[in-house]
Chains A and B, each alone.
Chain A
Amino acid sequence: MPDKTETTNVAKKAAGLGISLDAWAVALALGFALLVWLGWIKRVPW
C-alpha cells in the first residue's frame, strides 16, 4: 500500500546527508528559480 516505510526511508536518507527532505525540495525549487532568472532555462514547455 502506501509506502510509508519507503517514504520514511527516503526522508531518513535525505536527513542523513544533513538536511531534511523538505529542505532538499526547497533547495531544488530555488535552484530552478535561479536558473530561470539567469536565463539558463529559457523555455519550459507544457
Chain B
Amino acid sequence: MSRSLRVLIVDDARLARSELRTLLAAIPWVACVGEADDVPAAREAILREQPDLVLLDVQLPSGEGFDVLDGLETVPMVVFVTAYDQYAVRAFETNALDYLVKPVEAGRLQAALERGRERVAAAATPAATNAPRDPLGAEDQVFLRDGERCWFVALGEIRRIVVDGNYARLWFRDQNAVLARSLSTLEARLSPALFFRANRNTLVNLRRVRAIEPSLGDGYELTLDDGSQVEVSRRQARELRERLAL
C-alpha cells in the first residue's frame, strides 16, 4: 500500500472536473495525475501519465468515452462517469471496473477506487517497476471493440491470437474480436513467458494449454482449455521444448 493510486480525470465540463478533483483530494491514497477535456487530450494524457485508473465521462465533444480507449496498446482501469445512466448498461457489458452517476457520491467513488487499488495490488509483481516499455503481462488489459460491443480483456484471459488480414484476432472467454495491430507487433510487446508463437499465424497463451501431443512431421498438436487445437510447426517445436524445459 505504499504507492498511491494514480487517477486521470476526463470530462468536458470544467466544473465537473473540479468536482471530481475535490472528491479525490479527500482520499489520501489517491493521486490525481491530470485532467483532460476531450478525446485527443485524454489519449495523450493516458500515454504520458500512464495512470492506474481513468474517471471517464461517457460523452465528450469529439466522441464517446470509448473512443479514448480505442487503439491504445493497453488500457488503464476505467470507471465511467455519466449524468444519466443510458450508457451505463453498455459500460457494464464492457466489464469496466464500475460506473458512477453525477452528482458523484463520495462513498460510491471511494468504493470504486478501492476496487481499483485492490486490482493494482494483486497485479503488482515483486519487481514491479512501471517502466512503459516493459513487456505486457497477464494482468495488463486491452480494450477491444467490434461494432457496438466492446470488452476490457486482461491478457491472461486471451487463449490465442490469430492473424486476420493485417490485424490480429483475439480469442478470449467465449468471444473473439479483432485488434487493429499486426501479430508481430503484438508478439514483440507481449511477455514471452506468457505467449508463444506456435506457427506463422498463431500466438498461444501457454497457461491455457491443456495437452501437448506429437504430430506428423516433428511438430506438436496443442489442445487449449476450450478444446480448440493449434498446430506447432517443426521450426517452433524445438523452441517450445526449450521453453517448457525451463
Check if A and B associate: no
